[in-house]
Amino acid sequence: MQSRPSSKITFCSDEAIQLEGPNEWDECDLEIGLPCEQWESIRLFLQGKPLQSYLVLIGGKRVIRARWPKAGPGHYKLRLEAAQHEEERFITILPAKLGKEDYLQLLEELEYKLPCAIALNLKRCRAFSSMIFEPPRSSTLEQEHLRIRRVLLGTSERLGILKLLQLLESDCHVTLSREKLFLPSWSAASIDQTRLHEALFRSGNVLPDGRLVGVPSSRCQESRDTYENRFVASFVELVASRLARLIAALSIVSSTEVPELKTLLRLLQQRSKFLRNVSSLTGEPKFISMVLLNKPNYRATLESYLEFAKHSTVILDEPALDAPLNAFPDLYQLWGTLKVLESLSDHCANRKLQCLSQTLLVRVGGTFLLRLSPKGSRIAAFTDSKSNTQVSVFREPTYSKKSPDIRSLSHSQIPDIVVEVRREGEAPQLVLFDPKYKLASADRTPMKEDIDKMHVYRDSLITASTGEHVVQYAAIMYPGIHMQYSDSLAALPALPQAESQLKAALKDVFEKFIP
C-alpha cells in the first residue's frame, strides 16, 4: 500500500505523519503532490464516488489534501484526475482486529481444514450410511496451488487440461441432431410426414383450395452438447472455481504467484470457449462412455479428472470467499460457526452419538460441498439411544412470543448458533454462541451491547409449557481476551493463531452439557 515513486497520492495522519495506507475504520488524510495552482482542476474518486479536495497550510506551506473516510476491510479503487496528471490506485485494507497471519489462517481453515474436519467427524457419527463417502484429505494453500498447476499444465507423463482443450477443440466429438422446422410450402426441401397433422390443425394454414401455407420439415445439424463434452465442461468449471478461490486466498500473501495464476485462469476460460453451448452435468459422472475410453484426447482428460478428483477435498460453498476482504465480518462469523460445528461433531463422535440427520454435506459433480443451511433451520441432529438424549444444532433460529415450544418473554430473539440438548422427561437446554467481529477498545475487550445481548438471551428464553428458563450457557466469540462473567456467561477469544484456546473452551462447554 506504499505510494509508488510515480504516485502523487500519499496517505498521512492528522499529525502529518506519512502512513503506508489507511487502517480499518480509521479516517486519514490524502495528500496530493500536485501544484496548488491545479487544485481547481483536480477530481478525486473513491469507488467511483467523488472525494472533496481542499487547500490547507502545513508548516507554512500550502498543500492539496482530501479526507479518506472510515472503511472496512476490502479492496478500493482510488482515481485521481487533474489537468496534467491521471492516476489510478488500488488500496487494500486488511482486518485490523486480526493480524495478517490470523487472517491468512482463517482463510485456509475456511477453504480446506474446517470443511474436511467436520465431514470426517460426521462420518464417525455414521452420517453417510446411505452414500459412498471416501474420507477427504486435508489440504493447504501450497498443496492446492501445486495440485491446480499440475492439472492445468500437466506433468512429464500427462498433458494438462490447457493443452487438452486445444486438442479437443480440433477433434471435438459431435452428434447429429434433428432440428424441427415449420417452413413455407414453396421453400421446404422435404416434409416431415410424422408431423403432418401440425400443418392440418394450425390455424389459417389450410387454404380454401386445400393447399397448405406451411409444412413441417426438419434438418440435421452437428451438436457438441454430448455427454462427453458435458463431462469436459463440468471438469473445466470445477478447476476454474477452485483456481478462482486459490487466487483470492493468495492475493494477500503472494504477489509473485497471483499474476501467473490469473493468466492461467484467463487461458482456461479462453480455451474452453468452444464448450460455451454445452450444458454441464447435473451431478457426478454416471458412467464412462466408449468415446471417453477410446478417443485419446478424451481418455487423457478422463485420466486427468480422476487424478484431480482422487485428491479432492471437501470445499466450502461460500461465494464470499471469492472476494474475502469485501465481506470479512460475515466470513469471521462463518468461521466461528464452523469452529463450533467442528468441536460439537468431534465431541458427539467421541461420545459415540449417531448422526440422525445433517444438511451440511452434499456431493455435486464428483466433489463434496459443505453448505450451511438457510437461517432458521436445523443443521444437524445427533442421538444417544442409551441415555435418550438428542442434540441438535440450529443456525439463527427465531424465538418469538408466540413460538410453540421455546419462546421469548419479550421481543423476538435470534441467536447465531444454538445447540439444543433434549433428554426424556426434562426441559430442553440451550447453549448459545454468537461470533462477533467487534472490539470495544485497544485493550481487546468485548462490546457492552454484545454482552448485554447474551444477558437477554439467557433471561428471556423459556419453555412455552412451563415457563422454565432454558439457556444454560451463552457466549460471544470475538478477537479479544477471555472474559468469564459467570458460569453461564462468557466472552471467548476466537483467533485463528490461538485456536487451541478456543478449542479447549468449546470442549469444556460441551463436556459439561453433553456428558
378-414: pLDDT as tens digits: 999 999 988 889 999 999 999 999 999 999 998 999 9
407-441: pLDDT as tens digits: 999 899 999 999 999 998 899 999 999 999 998 87
Q: Where would I find the H helices in 11-109?
A: 100-108
Location of C-alpha cell 422435404:
190
49 by Cβ neighbours in 10 Å (0-12 / 13-18 / 19+) ranks as exposed
Helix (H, G, I), strand (E, B) or coil at 227: helix
CATH 3.30.200.20 applies to domain 9-93 = no
Question: If DSSP states are collapsed to H, E and C, what string results for 290-330?
Answer: HHHHHCHHHHHHHHHHHHHHHCCCCEECCHHHHCHHHHHHH
Extents of the domains making up the chain:
9-93, 141-171+226-312, 342-513
Packed helices 328-350 and 499-513: angle between N→C axes, nearest 10 degrees: 50
The CA-to-CA distance between both ends of the chain, in Å, stands at 51
Q: What is the pLDDT at residue 137?
A: 52
Q: What is the pLDDT at residue 192?
A: 85
pLDDT for residue 72 is more than 90: no
Do 407 and 462 touch, CB atoms closer than 8 A?
Answer: yes
255-279: pLDDT as tens digits: 678 888 999 999 999 999 999 888 8
> How many Å apart are CA 116 and CA 137, to the nearest integer?
7
Phi, psi of 413 (to 5 degrees): -120, 140
Q: What is the pLDDT at residue 131?
A: 52
pLDDT for residue 50 is more than 70: yes
Q: What is the pLDDT at residue 2?
A: 43
296-320: pLDDT as tens digits: 999 999 999 888 877 656 778 888 8
Q: Which residues pair with 89 in a beta bridge?
A: 78
Which triple of cell numbers denotes residue 359?
444438511
Do 236 and 305 touch, CB atoms closer than 8 A?
Answer: no
> How many Å apart are CA 130 and CA 133, to the nearest integer?
9
Do 453 and 413 touch, CB atoms closer than 8 A?
Answer: no
Longest dimension (CA), the chain: 100
> How many Å apart are CA 352 and CA 383, to the nearest integer?
9
113-171: pLDDT as tens digits: 898 889 889 989 988 765 555 554 555 677 788 889 999 999 888 899 999 999 999 98
pLDDT for residue 49 is more than 80: yes
pLDDT for residue 1 is more than 50: no
202-217: pLDDT as tens digits: 888 898 888 889 998 8
Q: What is the pLDDT at residue 3?
A: 45
Helix (H, G, I), strand (E, B) or coil at 501: helix
- Fold annotation for 342-513: Trna Endonuclease; Chain: A, domain 1 (3.40.1350)
Per DSSP (E only), the strands in 168-293 are 175-184, 214-223
pLDDT classification of 479: cutoffs 50, 70, 90:
very high
Do 97 and 24 touch, CB atoms closer than 8 A?
Answer: yes
Q: What is the sign, positive or negative, of the torsion defined by CA atoms of 379, 384, 390, 393?
A: negative
Do the domains at 9-93 and 342-513 have one common CATH topology? no
For residues 210 and 485, the model is more confident at: 485
Number of H helices, E strands in the chain: 12, 24
For residues 201 and 4, the model is more confident at: 201
444-465: pLDDT as tens digits: 899 999 999 999 999 999 999 9
Packed helices 227-250 and 100-108: angle between N→C axes, nearest 10 degrees: 160
Distance from the Cα of residue 471 to its chain's centroid: 31
> How many Å apart are CA 113 and CA 289, to the nearest integer?
35
Q: What is the pLDDT at residue 199?
A: 86
Location of C-alpha cell 489440504:
139
CA nearest neighbour of 313 among 379, 267, 246, 263: 246
DSSP 95-139: -SSS-HHHHHHHHHIIIIIHHHHHHHHHHHTTTTTTS--PPPPP-
Parallel, antiparallel or unpaired: strands 18-19 and 417-423: unpaired
| Amino acid identity, position 34 | L
Q: In what order do the strands lie in the sheet with 61-68?
A: 18-19, 9-12, 28-32, 61-68, 53-58
pLDDT classification of 351: cutoffs 50, 70, 90:
very high
b/e 209-232 (16+ beta carbons within 10 angstroms → b): eeebebbbbbeeeeebebebbbbb
CA nearest neighbour of 145 among 90, 100, 108, 184: 108
Q: 387: Cβ–Cβ under 8 A, 6 or more apart, which residues?
A: 423
For residue 207, give Cα distances in angstroms to 190, 192, 198, 379: 20, 20, 15, 65
pLDDT classification of 180: cutoffs 50, 70, 90:
confident
Average pLDDT of every residue of the chain:
87
